[in-house]
A and B are shown apart, each in its own frame.
Chain A
Amino acid sequence: MTTYGRGLRGLSLATIATISTALVLVFFYAPLDADQGFVQKIFYLHVPLAIVSLCGFVFGALLAVGHLRTGDRRWDMRSYVAIHMALIFGVAGLITGSIWAKASWGHWWVWNEPTLVSFLIVLLLFATYQPMRFSIEDPERQARYASVFAVLAGAFVPLNFIAVRLAQQYVHPRILTLGGGNLPGSMRLTFIVALIGIALLYATLWKYEMAAKDARMRVRRLRRAVLGEDALAPLGRSAAPS
């Protein structure tokens, strides 16, 4: 089993158990919100997805620092997968948020809401990561430029978050604060379990994809070692690290 595949089964089981528990808590334990009613149940999905997505971008930036420090391309692969996963979670967060906005505010999107627009900006910024990689043919340069991009864009995430927190005019409710927030105990417990579940899902899928990519590379190296360079099909241009 590869390094990335180690512990994957246990992690997958923990993810399934935590997400199942979260779903039970969301629909059978957490009370209905007095303001929004049943539609507030989307909160337990949308907010963890957005938080994990943003943390995933920062995680990708930290891994990219590892690549720039060591020059080891495995760090670039880890960073690539972290950002790729965070993008998927971000898109899910954006869609679920849009559904919630339609149900709650009567609009699919509100342009004068700093939280929504700033999240969209971060998502669009990272959406350029893959085309940027694809535009660079040389793998070494691709990895280096992508790492620099990931670090800069990753640093933008907390700055963006602070700027939005400092904004005065917003309609997005401030539920989570350093002072404990406004959630009652049962809702907070449900939210924390949902957040852990989504974070575990991110970690599981990251390890899963890393294990798959690592296995493909090992097969390629094995083919080169046993049958020689001629036995390898040339790699096409790709955004993914090779």
Chain B
Amino acid sequence: MSVFAVSPALAPGKAAPYVIAAYIVFLALVLVYVAIMAKRLRSTERDLEALGREIGADRDDERDEVAA
């Protein structure tokens, strides 16, 4: 059975929604991926800031001990 034989080419007006849908699906997948990665990046930045604060607090404690 030839699938092509029962499906003649669509007119541009009827084909446009399919073409747009295909490109939008691709764009949406890329955007979702980038959004997830951006969220993880923010989480890493927060971890780094927290680590910086903890190191700063430890050094303050050491200075206090030395001063005492």
| 26 A-B contact pairs sorted by A residue (CB < 8 Å) | A33-B9, A38-B12, A39-B9, A39-B10, A39-B15, A42-B18, A92-B29, A95-B25, A96-B26, A99-B25, A100-B18, A102-B18, A104-B7, A105-B3, A105-B4, A105-B6, A105-B7, A107-B3, A110-B3, A201-B30, A212-B41, A215-B44, A223-B51, A226-B51, A226-B54, A227-B51
Chain B residues packing against A (C-beta within 8 Å)? 2-4, 6-7, 9-12, 15-16, 18-19, 21-23, 25-26, 29-30, 33, 37, 40-41, 44, 47-48, 51, 54-55, 58
Cβ contact within 8 Å between B7 and A106: yes
Within 8 Å of chain B (Cβ to Cβ): is A103? yes
Within 8 A of B (CB), among A60-80: none
Cβ contact within 8 Å between B3 and A41: no
A138 CB, min distance to chain B CBs, angstroms: 25
Instruction: State the CA gap A226–B48 with chains docked (Å).
Output: 12
Cβ contact within 8 Å between B10 and A96: no
Cβ contact within 8 Å between B3 and A45: no
B29 CB, min distance to chain A CBs, angstroms: 5
Count, chain A residues at interface, CB 8 A: 41
Interfacial chain B residues near A99, Cβ < 8 Å = 18, 21-22, 25
Interfacial chain B residues near A91, Cβ < 8 Å = 29
Cβ contact within 8 Å between A96 and B22: yes
Interfacial chain B residues near A100, Cβ < 8 Å = 18, 22
Within 8 A of B (CB), among A201-215: 201, 205, 208-209, 212, 215
Interfacial chain B residues near A223, Cβ < 8 Å = 47, 51
Within 8 Å of chain B (Cβ to Cβ): is A171? yes
Cβ contact within 8 Å between A39 and B19: yes
Closest chain A residue, CB of each to CB of B29: A92
Interfacial chain A residues near B11, Cβ < 8 Å = 37
A96-B26, A215-B44 known; A37 vs B10 contact (CB < 8 Å): yes
Cβ contact within 8 Å between A216 and B44: yes
Instruction: State the CA gap A208–B41 with chains docked (Å).
Output: 10
Instruction: State the CA gap A100–B15 with chains docked (Å).
Output: 9
Contact of A227 among B21, B29, B47, B58 (CB under 8 A): B58
Interfacial chain B residues near A41, Cβ < 8 Å = 19
